[in-house]
């Protein structure tokens, strides 16, 4: 099935060039000219993936991503001329999965899109590479925290936690090696699958977002632990 991709870009020339390039790569491409148009299209018919510019006018890219994340976990890549660390981190905190700064080579964007598609496919069809199918991550009150890789879900008691694809893949990779430190580069290779392009900020920001969902006290994490200078370790409780 041809993946349907929504390109959100207010510059007509850039949007058209992206559409042509992505159609050549086999995507069915829809276009949104501003943030309001993007939110409306996602509400009417959710695409499989999104490419979002940040500078869109009244409803900017940050707002679009936050709105989409209220009800959807589709992969989102930001494409923007904003290269400042604060902007990159803010976009990732809003819920983007990846970030490409302008100007960029189309092959870089398509490589990242392919990696996201592979991750989505592997999450829908888990493998037996050694990652546990069901893991109790935390038995502490008020309710156990359970990762079920086969169904692609995480529950705290009866409540299913809403994790994005990237957050879920991160948790699975950490849970596959409990008690072992995984470096940021390890996680980039395993989760983002494009270490050459990878930015370690991707890992740090998504770990912070993941902690807000799985830790009882995100400010003092006890399940996903930072090992200073080395990386992250999952300590089931």
Last residue of a domain, one of 124, 146, 176: 124
Q: Which among 112-116, 131-135, 224-228 has the top mean pLDDT?
A: 224-228
Average pLDDT over residues 119-124: 62
Q: Are residues 57 and 144 in the same domain?
A: no
pLDDT tens-digit map of 37-80: 999 999 999 999 999 999 998 899 999 999 999 988 889 999 98
Please check whether residue 189 lies inside any domain of the structure: yes
Q: Are residues 9 and 119 in the same domain?
A: yes
Average pLDDT over residues 124-128: 47
Q: The CATH number of the domain where 200 resides is what?
A: 1.10.10.10
pLDDT tens-digit map of 74-113: 899 999 888 788 888 899 999 999 998 888 888 888 888 8
Q: Are residues 50 and 108 in the same domain?
A: yes
How far apart, in Å, are the Cα atoms of 203 and each of 45, 187, 195, 209?
Answer: 30, 7, 12, 10
Is residue 38 within 8 Å of 32, Cβ to Cβ? yes
Average pLDDT score, the chain? 88
Please check whether residue 162 lies inside any domain of the structure: yes
Last residue of a domain, one of 124, 142, 161: 124
pLDDT tens-digit map of 176-223: 999 999 999 999 888 887 654 557 888 999 999 999 999 999 999 999
Average pLDDT over residues 6-13: 94
What is d(CA 82, CA 86) in angstroms, rounded to the nearest whole number?
9
Region of poorest pLDDT, from 82-86, 151-155, 165-169: 82-86
Q: Are residues 138 and 230 in the same domain?
A: yes
Please check whether residue 129 lies inside any domain of the structure: no
Last residue of a domain, one of 74, 100, 124: 124
Q: Are residues 184 and 227 in the same domain?
A: yes
Q: Are residues 98 and 187 in the same domain?
A: no
pLDDT at 132 over 90: no
Q: Are residues 50 and 117 in the same domain?
A: yes
Q: The CATH number of the domain where 21 resides is what?
A: 3.40.50.2300
pLDDT at 127 over 60: no
Count of beta carbons in the 10 Å neighbourhood of residue 122: 15
Average pLDDT over residues 1-7: 90
Q: Are residues 113 and 224 in the same domain?
A: no
Q: Are residues 72 and 165 in the same domain?
A: no
Average pLDDT over residues 123-147: 73
Please check whether residue 30 lies inside any domain of the structure: yes
Q: Are residues 30 and 106 in the same domain?
A: yes
Q: Are residues 9 and 101 in the same domain?
A: yes
Q: Are residues 100 and 174 in the same domain?
A: no
How far apart, in Å, are the Cα atoms of 166 and each of 51, 69, 104, 209?
Answer: 16, 12, 23, 10
Task: Please report which confidence band the pLDDT of residue 123 belongs to, taking 50, 70 and 90 as the band edges.
Answer: low
Q: Which domain holds residue 186?
A: 134-234
Please check whether residue 116 lies inside any domain of the structure: yes
Report pLDDT for 141: 82
The contacts of residue 75 (CB under 8 Å, 6+ apart) are 48, 49, 50, 97, 98, 113, 116, 117, 119, 120, 165, 166
End-to-end Cα, the chain, rounded Å: 41
Average pLDDT over residues 120-131: 53
The number of CA neighbours under 13 Å toward the Cβ of 4 is: 8
User: Considering Cα of 42, then 190, then 25, then 10, what sign does the dihedral take?
Assistant: positive
**Number of domains comprising the chain:** 2
Please check whether residue 8 lies inside any domain of the structure: yes
Report pLDDT for 128: 43
- Of residues 208 and 125, more confidence is placed in 208
């Amino acid at each position: 099935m041809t993946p349907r991709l929504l390109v959100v870009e207010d510059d007509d020339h850039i949007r058209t060039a992206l559409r042509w390039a992505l159609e050549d790569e086999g995507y069915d491409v829809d276009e949104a000219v501003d943030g309001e148009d993007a939110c409306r299209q996602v509400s009417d018919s959710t695409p499989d993936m999104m490419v979002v510019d940040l500078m869109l006018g009244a409803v900017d890219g940050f707002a679009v991503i936050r709105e989409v994340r209220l009800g959807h976990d589709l992969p989102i890549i930001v494409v923007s001329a904003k290269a400042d660390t604060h902007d990159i981190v803010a976009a990732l905190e809003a819920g983007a999965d990846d970030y490409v700064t302008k100007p960029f080579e189309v092959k870089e964007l398509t490589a990242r899109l392919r990696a996201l598609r592979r991750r989505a496919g592997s999450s829908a069809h888990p493998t037996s590479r050694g990652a546990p199918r069901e893991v109790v991550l935390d038995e502490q009150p008020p309710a156990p925290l359970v990762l079920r890789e086969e169904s692609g879900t995480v529950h705290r008691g009866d409540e299913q936690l809403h994790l994005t694809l990237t957050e879920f893949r991160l948790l699975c990779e950490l849970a596959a090696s409990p008690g072992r430190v995984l470096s940021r580069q390890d996680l980039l290779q395993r989760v983002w699958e494009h270490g050459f392009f990878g930015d370690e900020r991707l890992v740090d920001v998504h770990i912070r977002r993941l902690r807000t969902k799985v830790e009882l006290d995100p400010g003092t994490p006890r399940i996903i632990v930072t090992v200073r200078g080395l990386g992250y370790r999952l300590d089931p409780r």
